[in-house]
């Protein structure tokens, strides 16, 4: 029983880290522009499908291709659907990004079809058995990459001029602009980074599940959005914390009440958090 | 062939009812991306009751009541959320309802509820549409309630300035909207004879948003036209599902970029203005959204001569 519980906790932490990458993207865009980019779940599929297709050329090439292409599609989504609608209602932006995401998904379906494609794990095959707890090398690699990416995000946000510009823009865009920060550039870079992280999360999901499809972004995207809301819209530590919480909770619900209900837990948790703390766990607006 | 187009017309009519109800919610600034879940809940209710032998009219009433009750609960829970976050919360709510329903074996699980008798016809759907359209023109558009909807969309605090509670206005409009979408859901189950968890999905909710947004949410006829066109045209062109996704998405993006208020402009009742004369026009104009003080204006409106006078009233 003890070993089983540890196993569930481990699985929860792994999926929590992947959700964190997606939630980080949503939180960054909320902080930068006060928008939710609903094209982001499609970036997950873009990253995963590109990586799956280029995996034969080596893991590093696949990663680079998947991340770069999702960032590129993200920048296109910024110029086509976000920038022209930003001055209007936020709902206009939401619907426009939804439209863009739908186009990306439709194009992906045209290219690869609707069926699941098999994807081989990115890490070495094999596992450790530590007292009944099975740790695959693949999962370890996924966690290591997620930790590395989170560390990079923290380092850039706290230690560079670009991070300072991003935080200033999140705090008060007008004042940031008045102080000579190129808000437009910050927004483009934030979109590119957010979509790169989402694409990377897509590669991780594909590697863990062993299959990829154009529709794979929806579940992880929704989880990321929910984690962003639970953590406090725009708060990056909040998003990571909420993602881990969500991952753990889903793993244990899945074990106790069956897989079908595990996705509903996140939404239930969100309702509770919104009732008790409408600003989210760690509020930073 | 004729029966086929009759069926397409029924689906278009049902979509039109659902799109109109969603437009009411969007008009009040509450974009819901979970309306298909409310419709689906109502569909399950109507289907189960009908199989148990409850009279048809009662099935419809119960469906609308269940859907409105869920809408009420969601709306009260989500009162603290605005705009975007509210939309995302409704999306999450819809997914959660879908997951819970598909995990209940007594509701048919993933297969859904089958074997519901097909006992509605096109004239009934058209009659409901006509009632909704008349209600929109004669009751909603001329009412202080409509004014509150537009103030709500702009800034809830402005509703407080009129001496009413913005919370009440928001909850009432959302409950009304989900109640009507429940009727659409009941029609749907009696048209297809089946309701499945996938009918509650994000995709279906998204389609409703597309219908309403493309048609234009600020008029009664807009969302109905949007739903009718977008249901019929893919049938004419015999599109596959993937093609339809691309078409819908592209239209959505295009409309948001070029005409963010939809294809039907904000003043579609000029014919009625002429028929009913000045008194109608005056009352209608006061409650026109673009004349509400502080209302968001389109770029075209800003370029033209201002229509709002200093005291916020309308030039007579």
CA distance B179 to A70: 41
What is the pLDDT at residue A271?
74
Does a structural domain hold residue B98?
Answer: yes
Mapping DSSP to helix (H, G, I), strand (E, B) and coil, where does residue B144 land?
helix
Q: Which residue of A has its CA nearest to B85?
A: A229
CA distance A147 to A256: 28
Share of chain B above pLDDT 90, in %: 25
The answer for B 179-218 residues in CB contact with A (under 8 A) is 202, 206, 209, 213
Q: Which residue of B has its CA nearest to A94?
A: B84
The answer for A 210-249 residues in CB contact with B (under 8 A) is 218, 222, 225-226, 229, 233
Predicted confidence (pLDDT) at residue B21 exceeds the cutoff of 80: yes
b/e map of A118-143 (b: 16 or more CB within 10 Å)? Answer: ebebbbeeeeeeeeebebbebbebbb
What is the pLDDT at residue B299?
52
- Which of A54-58, A249-253, B65-69, B113-117 is modeled with the greatest confidence? B65-69
Does a structural domain hold residue B296?
Answer: no
Q: Which residue of A has its CA nearest to B209?
A: A95
Predicted confidence (pLDDT) at residue B95 exceeds the cutoff of 70: yes
What is the pLDDT at residue A264?
77
Does a structural domain hold residue B244?
Answer: yes
Model confidence pLDDT, tens digit, residues B245-260: 788 888 888 888 888 7
pLDDT tier at B82, thresholds 50, 70, 90: confident
CATH code of the domain in which A45 resides: 1.10.3470
Taking an 8 Å cut-off on Cβ atoms, the answer to whether A89 and B260 are in contact is yes
Q: Which residue of B has its CA nearest to A232?
A: B85
Does a structural domain hold residue B129?
Answer: yes
Model confidence pLDDT, tens digit, residues B204-215: 898 898 888 888
State chain B's mean pLDDT as an integer.
80
The answer to whether A276 faces chain B, any CB pair under 8 Å, is: no
Taking an 8 Å cut-off on Cβ atoms, the answer to whether A266 and B92 are in contact is yes
Model confidence pLDDT, tens digit, residues A121-167: 877 777 888 877 888 888 888 899 999 999 999 899 888 988 889 98
Does a structural domain hold residue A53?
Answer: yes
pLDDT tier at B283, thresholds 50, 70, 90: very low
Does a structural domain hold residue B10?
Answer: yes
The answer for B 213-242 residues in CB contact with A (under 8 A) is 213, 242
Give the global pTM.
0.80
What is the pLDDT at residue A195?
95
Identify which has the larger pLDDT, B155 or A284.
B155
Taking an 8 Å cut-off on Cβ atoms, the answer to whether A233 and B260 are in contact is no
Does a structural domain hold residue A283?
Answer: no
Identify whether the C-beta of residue A225 lies closer than 8 Å to the C-beta of residue B92. Answer: yes
Contacts of A94 in chain B (CB under 8 A): 31, 84, 87
Q: How many domains is chain B built from?
A: 1
Task: State how far the alpha carbon of A42 is from the alpha carbons of A129, A194, A218, B179, in Å.
Answer: 36, 13, 8, 32
Mutate to test the interface with A, among B92, B217, B255 (most CBs of A within 10 A): B92
The answer to whether A92 faces chain B, any CB pair under 8 Å, is: yes
Identify which has the larger pLDDT, A127 or B184.
B184
State chain A's mean pLDDT as an integer.
87
Q: What is the mean pLDDT of residues B261-290?
A: 54
The answer to whether B23 faces chain A, any CB pair under 8 Å, is: no
Does a structural domain hold residue A266?
Answer: yes
- The alpha-helical segments, DSSP class H, found in A78-136 are 90-112
Taking an 8 Å cut-off on Cβ atoms, the answer to whether A222 and B245 are in contact is no
Q: What is the mean pLDDT of residues A75-87?
A: 91
Contacts of A106 in chain B (CB under 8 A): 242-243, 245-246, 249
- Which of A88-92, A139-143, B17-21 is modeled with the greatest confidence? B17-21
The answer for A 96-125 residues in CB contact with B (under 8 A) is 96, 98-103, 105-107, 109-110, 114
Taking an 8 Å cut-off on Cβ atoms, the answer to whether A91 and B296 are in contact is no
Domain that holds residue A111: 2-276
Measure B230 CA to nearest chain A CA, in Å.
Answer: 15
Share of chain A above pLDDT 70, in %: 98
Does a structural domain hold residue B214?
Answer: yes
Does a structural domain hold residue A282?
Answer: no
Contacts of B80 in chain A (CB under 8 A): 274, 278
Taking an 8 Å cut-off on Cβ atoms, the answer to whether B100 and A274 are in contact is no
Strand-pairing partners, residue A130, are: A133
The torsion region of residue B312 among left (phi > 0), alpha (psi -120 to 50) and beta comes to left
Model confidence pLDDT, tens digit, residues B212-230: 888 888 888 889 999 998 8
Measure A106 CA to nearest chain B CA, in Å.
Answer: 5
What is the pLDDT at residue A199?
94
The answer to whether B283 faces chain A, any CB pair under 8 Å, is: no
Model confidence pLDDT, tens digit, residues A162-215: 888 998 888 888 898 898 889 899 999 999 999 999 999 999 999 888 888 888
Measure A123 CA to nearest chain B CA, in Å.
Answer: 32
Task: State the complex-level ipTM.
Answer: 0.81
What is the pLDDT at residue A128?
82
Q: Which residue of B has its CA nearest to A37?
A: B84
pLDDT tier at A284, thresholds 50, 70, 90: low
Predicted confidence (pLDDT) at residue A40 exceeds the cutoff of 80: yes
> Strands, E, within B69-173: which ranges?
113-114
The answer to whether B31 faces chain A, any CB pair under 8 Å, is: yes
The answer to whether A35 faces chain B, any CB pair under 8 Å, is: yes
What is the pLDDT at residue B69?
96
What is the pLDDT at residue B285?
44
Model confidence pLDDT, tens digit, residues B26-69: 888 888 989 999 999 999 999 999 988 889 899 999 999 999 99
Q: What is the mean pLDDT of residues A221-234?
A: 85
Q: Which residue of A has its CA nearest to B87?
A: A91
Q: How many domains is chain A built from?
A: 1
Domain that holds residue B162: 2-258
Does a structural domain hold residue A216?
Answer: yes
Taking an 8 Å cut-off on Cβ atoms, the answer to whether A225 and B257 are in contact is no
What is the pLDDT at residue A49?
93
Taking an 8 Å cut-off on Cβ atoms, the answer to whether B242 and A81 are in contact is no
pLDDT tier at B185, thresholds 50, 70, 90: very high
Q: What is the mean pLDDT of residues B226-242?
A: 81
Share of chain A above pLDDT 90, in %: 31
How many CB pairs below 8 A link A and B? 125
């Amino acid at each position: 029983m003890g070993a089983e519980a540890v196993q569930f906790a481990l699985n929860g932490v792994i999926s929590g880290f992947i959700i964190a990458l997606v939630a980080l993207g949503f939180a960054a865009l909320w902080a930068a522009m006060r928008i939710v980019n609903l094209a982001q779940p499609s970036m997950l599929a873009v990253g995963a499908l590109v990586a799956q297709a280029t995996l034969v050329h080596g893991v590093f090439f696949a990663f680079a291709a998947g991340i770069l292409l999702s960032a590129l599609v993200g920048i296109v989504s910024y110029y086509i659907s976000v920038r022209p609608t930003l001055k209007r209602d936020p709902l206009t932006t939401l619907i426009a990004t939804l439209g863009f995401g739908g186009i990306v998904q439709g194009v992906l379906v045209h290219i690869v079809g609707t069926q699941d494609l098999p994807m081989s794990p990115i890490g070495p095959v094999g596992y450790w058995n530590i007292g009944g707890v099975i740790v695959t090398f693949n999962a370890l690699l996924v966690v290591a990459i997620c930790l590395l990416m989170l560390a990079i995000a923290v380092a850039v946000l706290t230690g560079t001029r670009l991070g300072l510009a991003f935080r200033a823009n999140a705090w008060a865009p007008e004042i940031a602009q008045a102080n000579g920060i190129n808000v437009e550039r910050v927004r483009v870079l934030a979109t590119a980074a957010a979509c790169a992280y989402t694409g990377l999360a897509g590669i991780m999901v594909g590697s863990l599940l062993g299959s990829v499809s154009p529709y794979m972004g929806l579940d992880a995207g929704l989880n990321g959005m929910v984690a962003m809301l639970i953590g406090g819209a725009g708060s990056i530590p909040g998003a990571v914390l909420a993602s881990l919480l969500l991952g753990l909770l889903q793993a244990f619900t899945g074990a106790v009440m069956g897989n079908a209900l595990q996705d509903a837990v996140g939404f239930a948790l969100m309702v509770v958090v919104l009732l008790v703390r409408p600003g989210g766990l760690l509020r930073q607006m | 062939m004729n029966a086929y187009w009759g069926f397409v017309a029924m689906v278009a009519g049902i979509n039109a009812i659902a799109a109109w109800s969603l437009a009411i919610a969007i008009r009040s600034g509450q974009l819901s991306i979970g309306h298909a879940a409310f419709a689906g809940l109502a569909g399950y209710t109507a289907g189960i009751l009908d199989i148990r032998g409850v009279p048809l009219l009662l099935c419809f009433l119960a469906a609308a009541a269940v859907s409105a009750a869920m809408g009420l609960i969601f709306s009260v829970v989500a009162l603290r959320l605005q705009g975007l976050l509210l939309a995302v919360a409704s999306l999450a709510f819809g997914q959660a309802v879908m997951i819970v329903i598909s995990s209940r074996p007594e509701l048919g699980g993933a297969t859904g509820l089958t074997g519901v008798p097909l006992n509605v016809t096109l004239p009934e759907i058209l009659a409901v549409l006509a009632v909704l359209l008349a209600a929109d023109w004669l009751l909603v558009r001329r009412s202080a309630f409509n004014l509150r909807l537009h103030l709500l969309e702009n800034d809830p605090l402005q509703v407080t300035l009129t001496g009413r509670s913005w919370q009440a206005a928001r909850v009432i409009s959302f409950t009304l909207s989900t109640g009507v979408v429940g009727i659409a859901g009941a029609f749907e189950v009696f048209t297809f004879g089946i309701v499945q968890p996938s009918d509650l999905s994000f995709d279906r909710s998204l389609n409703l948003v597309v219908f309403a947004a493309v048609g234009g949410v600020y008029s009664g006829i807009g969302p109905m036209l949007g739903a009718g066109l977008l249901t019929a045209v893919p049938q004419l062109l015999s599109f596959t599902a993937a093609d339809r996704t691309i078409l819908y998405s592209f239209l959505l993006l295009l409309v948001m970029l070029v005409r963010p208020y939809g294809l039907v402009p904000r003043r579609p009742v000029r014919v009625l203005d002429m028929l009913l004369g000045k008194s109608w026009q005056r009352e209608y104009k006061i409650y026109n959204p673009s004349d509400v003080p502080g209302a968001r204006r389109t770029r075209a409106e800003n370029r033209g001569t201002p229509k709002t006078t200093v005291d916020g009233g309308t030039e007579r």
